[in-house]
């Protein structure tokens, strides 16, 4: 009798151990197709059934981003009964493709189920003010910065920037101040009310006489207002033109070799300023000219010599100022030289500010 009672207790424990809820969805993925950005929330409902033999409880449901909101059945779901999870996606300010997940946590096996929603958001039509957000007097601009990309040191680069007269009267657009190596024209100079125009910038890299990434500003005269806030930034990367070098000149050219291009200062306290000497050697047959040395942030100071004789080595001293910095740091120093095979060198400063 005692053995039968023990066996019965073991069988009851075995049944209890394997008796559990089971969450079975009709589908775990929804494709919204194409939805409009200004149409409001896109919502779908994932339905499921408890196929197990114990009540099913959803503990939580979390989305991978704030644009997706899940709601679910809060009360226990008895065996054989159904429940649902409603998932809403907010397409506002999110044009383009999307693919988001919702993690559902419950007492079922498996305890986590991943639901997926996807689709494409068709962007809403932007207002003129949104298309031309930069306001300077009565003239609105698509942007106040013109990026010209890369140009050789012997070339010119031309680009345009659109503008719009948002006022109720004609407005004249002109130049207040511009660098000599840029030519700027407006079409039209006098913009009728509610009409568009374009500014054309011709950039002469040869006259700029600089290398690497350089920035300038164009200052505008708008209807007689010469305001320094009425300006357009212009950036360009100028690479030296080695295309005219003969084979003999290439053979006798300078050649730069960097001993190590990474300075890892390890762990330092905020306020400390570690320094490092990058060693650059000229293994070529003519003078190596260091055209430019620029750091990616003002926290990194650089000092170097400009000319390195054949066979000589120069030090590029870098000091990292950690004041106001926290956590992992990754800064770059760009060195531009007249080495036709390696004119741009990237040096790195890495470490951790405690």
Based on the domain organization, do 164 and 219 belong to the same domain? yes
pTM of the model: 0.67
337-346: pLDDT as tens digits: 999 999 999 9
pLDDT in tens, 149-176: 999 999 999 999 999 999 999 999 999 9
138 with 210, same domain?
yes
The mean pLDDT value for 279-294 works out to: 93
Nearest to 295 by CA among 331, 271, 263, 327: 331
Q: Is residue 5 in some structural domain?
A: no
For residue 11, pLDDT beyond 70: no
Q: Determine the 3-state secondary structure of 351 from DSSP.
A: strand
Cα–Cα dist 237/242, whole Å: 15
The residue-averaged pLDDT of 86-115 equals 94
Domain encompassing residue 133: 128-239
Q: What is the mean pLDDT of residues 85-102?
A: 94
**Domain shared by 185 and 257, yes or no:** no
User: d(Cα 310, Cα 315) in Å, to the nearest integer?
Assistant: 15
C-alpha dihedral sign at 277, 278, 284, 286 = negative
- Could you tell me if residue 327 is inside a domain? yes
Please tell me the predicted confidence (pLDDT) of residue 7: 45
Confidence of residue 289 (pLDDT cuts 50, 70, 90): very high
Kindly indicate the confidence band of residue 3, based on its pLDDT and cuts at 50, 70 and 90. low
Both 185 and 263 in one domain: the answer is no
| Chosen domain end from 106, 122, 138 | 122
Percent of the chain with pLDDT over 90: 84
Tens-place pLDDT, residues 40-67? 999 999 999 999 999 999 999 999 888 8
Q: Is residue 2 part of a domain?
A: no
Residue that finishes a domain, picked among 83, 102, 122: 122
What confidence score (pLDDT) does residue 295 get? 87
| CA–CA separation, 266 and 328 (whole Å) | 10
**Same domain for 105 and 135:** no
Residues 235 and 252 both lie in one domain? no
Least trusted range by pLDDT, from 13-27, 81-95, 167-181: 13-27
Our count of domains for the chain comes to 3
pLDDT of residue 13: 43
Residue 103 included in any domain: yes
Position 9 pLDDT exceeds 50? no
User: Which pLDDT belongs to residue 18?
Assistant: 59
Of 239, 263, 296, which one is at a domain's C-terminal end?
239
Sheet holding 23-25, edge to edge: 23-25, 42-50, 82-89, 68-72
pLDDT grade for 4, boundaries at 50, 70 and 90 = very low
10 within domain boundaries: no
Mean pLDDT of 63-89: 92
Residues 114 and 155 in one domain: no
| Residues 179-213 pLDDT 10s | 999 999 999 999 999 999 999 999 999 999 899 99
Average pLDDT of span 221-237:
95
169 and 95 part of one domain: no
- Strands 23-25 and 42-50 come out as antiparallel
C-alpha distances out from residue 70 to 128, 330, 346, 348, Å: 36, 38, 47, 44
Q: List the one residue out of 313, 285, 299, 316 whose CA is nearest residue 351.
A: 299
Q: What is the CATH number of the domain that holds 90?
A: 2.60.40.10
167 domain-assigned: yes
Q: Where residue 300 falls among pLDDT bands split at 50, 70, 90?
A: confident
Say yes or no to pLDDT of 16 above 60.
Answer: no
CA 201 to each of CA 71, 182, 208, 354: distance values in angstroms, whole numbers, following the listed order: 54, 7, 14, 46
In a domain, 13, yes or no: no
Cα 307 to Cα 59, 238, 327: the distances in Å are 69, 20, 36
Angle at 135 between CA 134 and CA 141, to 5 degrees: 50
Residue 320 lies in a domain: yes
| Lowest mean pLDDT segment, chosen from 12-21, 121-130, 236-245 | 12-21
Q: Which pLDDT does position 14 carry in this prediction? A: 42
């Amino acid at each position: 009798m005692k053995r039968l009672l023990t066996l019965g207790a073991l069988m009851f424990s075995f049944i209890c151990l394997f008796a559990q809820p089971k969450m079975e969805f009709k589908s775990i993925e929804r494709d919204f197709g194409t939805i409009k950005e200004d149409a409001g929330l896109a919502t779908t409902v994932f339905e499921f059934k408890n196929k197990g033999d114990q009540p099913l409880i959803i503990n939580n449901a979390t989305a991978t981003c704030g644009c997706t909101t899940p709601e679910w059945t809060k009360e226990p779901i008895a065996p054989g009964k159904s429940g649902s999870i409603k998932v809403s996606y907010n397409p506002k300010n999110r044009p383009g493709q999307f693919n988001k997940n919702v993690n559902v946590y419950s007492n079922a096996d498996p305890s986590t189920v991943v639901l997926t929603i996807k689709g494409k958001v068709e962007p809403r039509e932007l207002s003129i003010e949104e298309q031309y957000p930069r306001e300077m007097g009565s003239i609105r601009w698509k942007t106040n910065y013109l990026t010209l990309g890369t140009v050789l040191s012997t070339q010119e680069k031309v680009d345009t920037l659109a503008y719009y007269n948002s006022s109720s009267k004609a407005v004249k657009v002109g130049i207040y101040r511009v660098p000599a190596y840029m030519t700027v024209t407006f079409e039209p100079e006098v913009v009728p009310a509610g009409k568009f125009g374009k500014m054309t910038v011709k950039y002469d890299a040869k006259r700029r006489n600089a290398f690497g990434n350089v920035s300038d500003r164009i200052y505008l005269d708008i209807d007689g207002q010469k305001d320094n806030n009425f300006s357009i930034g212009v950036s360009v990367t100028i690479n030296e033109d080695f295309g005219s070098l003969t084979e003999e000149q290439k053979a006798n050219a300078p050649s730069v070799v960097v001993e190590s291009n990474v300075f890892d200062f390890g762990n330092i306290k905020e306020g400390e300023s570690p320094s490092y000497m990058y060693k650059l050697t000229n293994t070529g047959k003519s003078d190596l000219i260091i055209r430019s040395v620029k750091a990616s942030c003002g926290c990194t100071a650089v000092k170097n010599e400009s000319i390195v004789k054949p066979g000589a080595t120069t030090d590029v001293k870098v000091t990292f100022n950690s004041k106001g910095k926290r956590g992992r740091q990754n800064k770059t120093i760009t060195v531009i030289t007249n080495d036709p095979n390696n004119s741009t060198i990237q040096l790195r400063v890495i470490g951790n500010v405690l």
